[in-house]
Structure 1
Amino acid sequence: MTAPTFDPDQRWRLHPQVAVRPEPFGALLYHFGTRKLSFLKNRTIVEVINSLGDHPDVRSACRAAGVEDSQLSPYLHAMSVLVASNMLIAGEDR
């Protein structure tokens, strides 16, 4: 099974089997289905992940967390890695 293609202009959300544990450095994500562990290395990305359901797409979630368009690249890369590891899944349109 291939991972979905990451599109930052699409709605994404945490997989229902993923738990987020805040840490001083950011957070740990644990997928209970695959038993994969991911590290989020700053609090801004944690804020973005936790607010995905409140925004129509990843870019909007990043902007709401204070990430300027010129700073988007590492955040979009992190999201694409989380999509590839099944930590994030496509969200439903409202």
Structure 2
Amino acid sequence: MLDEAWALSPSVALRPEPFGALAYDFHTRRLSFLKTPALVDVVRRLEGEPTVADALRRAGVEAPDHPAYVAALRTLAGSGVVVRRPAHDPAPTPTR
């Protein structure tokens, strides 16, 4: 996943909260929690960076912490909050 391009799903909106953010998927009507502001920062940076590793670096996440963030991103991917995109695409087109 570190060498792949990902982005926030076009059907998902983030609402900032003191603990991090709520992610609401308008297609599935599912609500997910991003439990830290740092994770929210990473998710927001995904679409502007070539890879997950680049997004983590730009968000200031230290290399020893990358596995925890990758695990969180995999969970978000499993629920459709983040989606894989081709490496050459800057971001998926919103569909809302």
- TM-score, length basis structure 1: 0.88
Paired residue for 2:51, among 53, 57, 69? 57
Using the TM superposition, give the Cα deviation of residue 63 of structure 1 relative to its aligned residue in structure 2, in angstroms.
Answer: 1.0
Q: What is the DSSP-based 3-state SS (H/G/I as helix, E as strand, rest coil) of the residue aligned with 1:86?
A: coil
Q: Which amino acid aligns with 1:63?
A: R
Paired residue for 1:29, among 23, 30, 34? 23
Partner of 2:8: 14
Partner of 1:72: 66
Once superposed, which parts of structure 1, at least 4 consecutive aligned residues long, lie more than 2 Å away? none
Aligned residues: 88
Rounded Cα–Cα distance in structure 2 between residues aligned with 1:10 and 1:28: 24
Using the TM superposition, give the Cα deviation of residue 28 of structure 1 relative to its aligned residue in structure 2, in angstroms.
Answer: 0.4
Query: Identity over the aligned pairs, expressed in percent?
Result: 43
Using the TM superposition, give the Cα deviation of residue 8 of structure 1 relative to its aligned residue in structure 2, in angstroms.
Answer: 2.4
Gaps of 5+ in 1: 1-6
Q: Which amino acid aligns with 2:86?
A: E
Rounded Cα–Cα distance in structure 2 between residues aligned with 1:63 and 1:93: 17
Using the TM superposition, give the Cα deviation of residue 90 of structure 1 relative to its aligned residue in structure 2, in angstroms.
Answer: 1.1
Q: What is the DSSP-based 3-state SS (H/G/I as helix, E as strand, rest coil) of the residue aligned with 1:54?
A: coil
Gaps of 5+ in 2: 89-96
